[in-house]
Amino acid sequence: MSPLAGPAPSDPTLQSFGQDPWWIIAIKVVAIFGFLVVGVLMTMWIERRVIGRMQLRTGPNRAGPFGLLQGLADGVKLALKEDIVPSKVDKVVFILAPIIVAVPAFVAFIIIPFGPMVSIFGHHTPLQGTDLPVAVLLVLATASMGVYGGVLMGWSSMSPYSLLGGLRSTAQVISYEIAMALSFVAVFMFAGTMSTSEIVNAQADRWYVLLLLPSFLIYVVTMMGESGRIPFDLPEGEGEIVGGVHTEYSSLKFAMFFLAEYINLITLSALATTLFLGGWRAPAPISTVWEGANAGWWPLLWFTGKLLAFIFFFIWLRASLPRVRYDQLMKLGWKVLIPFSLGWILLVATIRALRNEGYEMQDIVIVSVIAATVILVGTVAWELLRGGSDDDEDDGASAAKPVPAEGGFPVPPLDAPHYHGRPASAPASTTTTAREEVGSGTH
C-alpha cells in the first residue's frame, strides 16, 4: 500500500502536541468520549444484525428504524433495573471494581491518531488526543490496569464462580498480553519509535501488514484473547461458572463491565489499524489517483472504514468459532505464540543488522527462509519423537483410571451388573417401573 511518496507537511509529529489551548483539548476529549459511546451503540447493533443474518434470523428491528436504537434501549433498561448488592460482598471494592475496568478503557483511546493536522475554528491541531514517546505502551499499561478491576470484581463478590472467573481473566490476559507486546517489537524496529503518530508517518510508503505479516497475525490472535470474547471468552464461561466475574453484578455496574468490553474491542481494532494498516492513510488505489486523499478531514473516513472492517472480523469470529478449552487457550499462548514471537523478533533483528552491514536483501531472504525451514522441521521432528501431544498423554492417563464401582457418582457405569438394586438380566414382567416404585413408596 503506497498512499503518498513521503510524509506530507501536514503530518503530525511529537512536536505537534502540547501546544493546544484548553478549549481545543476539551473539544478533543469530548469528541473521543462521544465517538466511543456512539461506537459502542453501533457496534452492538452491527453485531446483532450481522450474527442474525448469519444465523438466518432478523436481529433487532423494533427499537427505532431497523432496530438502531436497540443499544440505547438496553442502556436505559440497565439503568432502571434494581441494583442488587449481595449482603456478604466487600461493598467498597464491589462498587469500585467496575469503575477500574471501565476508566482505563476510555483512557487508552486518547493516543489513537484519527487523521493529520486539521483546522478547528482557525486553530491548526493534530486530529489526535495526544501523543507520547511511548504511546503504544500506554495501551498495554491501561489494559493491565483493567485486569485489576476484573480480579477485584471476582474477589469482592464472595462467590466461587466470580472468583474462578477473575483467576481465569488474570491468567488469560497475562498470557496473551506478553505475546501482544512482543508482536509490537518488530513494528518499533521498523518505525524507530513508539509514538503512534510517527508510526503512521513511517507507513507512508508501505503498510506494515505487508512487511510484518507474522507480527500482524500474532496480534490478531492475541487481541481476541485480550478482549475475552468468543472463542476466548473463558472468564465468562456461562456453561461452567455461570457468568464469571460479573455473576453477582446487575444494573449500572454490569453496564460498565459491558461498556468496557466493547470499548476494548474498538480500541484493539484501532490499534491494529494504526500499527499495521497505515492508520488514517488511504489505501493505494485511492491515494495514487487522488493526491488530497490524506489531507484535511478525509483521513477520518479511511480510519473509520478500517476500524469497522476489524470490528466485523471480531463479529464474524464470534458467529463462526466455538469456545476453546482452557488448557488449549493456555497452551496456545505460552507454547505457540510467545516462542514464535521471540523467534520472529530475532529474525527481524538479524535482517535489520545484516542490511545495516551492507548485505544484499536477496541473500538475507534466502538465508532467513533456510533457517526458518530448519527450525520448523526440527520442531515437527521433536513432536514426533516425544510420542504425541499433551492431549495424547492426558487421554492415556484417563484411560488408565479404574472404572468406578456400581452406584458411582453422578452416573453409574453402563456395564454394572445391577441397576437400582435390580438384576440387569431380570425379565420385564418381574420388575416394576420407576413410576410404580415411587407411587408405592419403595424408593
Which residue shows C-alpha cell 481473566? Answer: 169
For residue 371, the model assigns a pLDDT of 75
Interatomic CA distance for residues 174 and 165, integer angstroms: 14
Nine cell digits for residue 67: 432496530
More confident residue, 217 or 16: 217
Q: Which of 44-58, 205-219, 243-257 has the lowest mean pLDDT?
A: 243-257
Give whole-number Cα distances, 105 to 33, 74, 108, 297, in Å: 11, 20, 6, 26
167-181, 265-279, 320-334, 372-386: the lowest-pLDDT one: 372-386
Provide the grid cell at 98: 467496575
Radius of gyration over every alpha carbon of the chain, rounded to an integer in angstroms? 27
Question: Per-residue pLDDT averaged across 122-140, rounded?
Answer: 87
Question: How far is it, in rounded angstroms, from Cα 298 to Cα 378?
Answer: 50
- Neighbour count for residue 439 (Cβ, 10 Å): 11
* Mean pLDDT computed over 149-157: 81
Separation of alpha carbons 90 and 416, rounded Å: 49
| Cα 438 from Cα 258, distance rounded (Å) | 47
Q: Is the pTM of this model over 0.85?
A: no
With 0-12 CB in 10 A as exposed, 13-18 as middle and 19+ as buried, what is 156? buried
Cell readout for 41 is 451503540
Residue 440 has pLDDT above 70, yes or no: no
Q: How far apart are the first and last CA of the chain?
A: 75
CA 146, distance to chain mean position in Å, is: 13
Distance CA 292, CA 71 (A): 36
pLDDT of amino acid 434 = 41
pLDDT band for 402, please (50, 70, 90 cuts): low
Cell of 311: 470490528
Percent pLDDT > 90 in the chain is 7
The three-state DSSP-derived secondary structure of the chain is CCCCCCCCCCCCCHHHCCCCCHHHHHHHHHHHHHHHHHHHHHHHHHHHHHHHHHCCCCCCCCCCHHHCCHHHHHHHHHHHCCCCCCCCCCHHHHHHHHHHHHHHHHHHHHHCEEEEEEEECCEEEEEECCCCCCHHHHHHHHHHHHHHHHHHHHHHCCCHHHHHHHHHHHHHHHHHHHHHHHHHHHHHHHHCCCCHHHHHHHCCCCCHHHHCHHHHHHHHHHHHHHHCCCCCCCCCCHHHHCCHHHCCCCHHHHHHHHHHHHHHHHHHHHHHHHHHCCCCCCCHHHHHHCHHHHCCCHHHHHHHHHHHHHHHHHHHHHHHCCCCCHHHHHHHHHHHHHHHHHHHHHHHHHHHHHHHCCCCHHHHHHHHHHHHHHHHHHHHHHHHHCCCCHHHHHHHHHHCCCCCCCCCCCCCCCCCCEECCEECCCCHHHCCCHHHHHHHCCC
Q: What is d(CA 181, CA 177) in angstroms, rounded to the nearest whole number? A: 6
- In contact, 315 and 46? CB cutoff 8 Å: yes
404-438 pLDDT, tens digit each: 554 444 555 555 455 444 554 444 444 444 444 44
Cβ-contact 282, 298 below 8 angstroms? yes
The DSSP bridge partners found for residue 33 are: none
**pLDDT tens sequence across 58-80:** 888 888 888 888 888 888 888 88
Cell of 75: 442502556
> CA separation (Å) from 376 to 74, 131, 381?
50, 40, 9
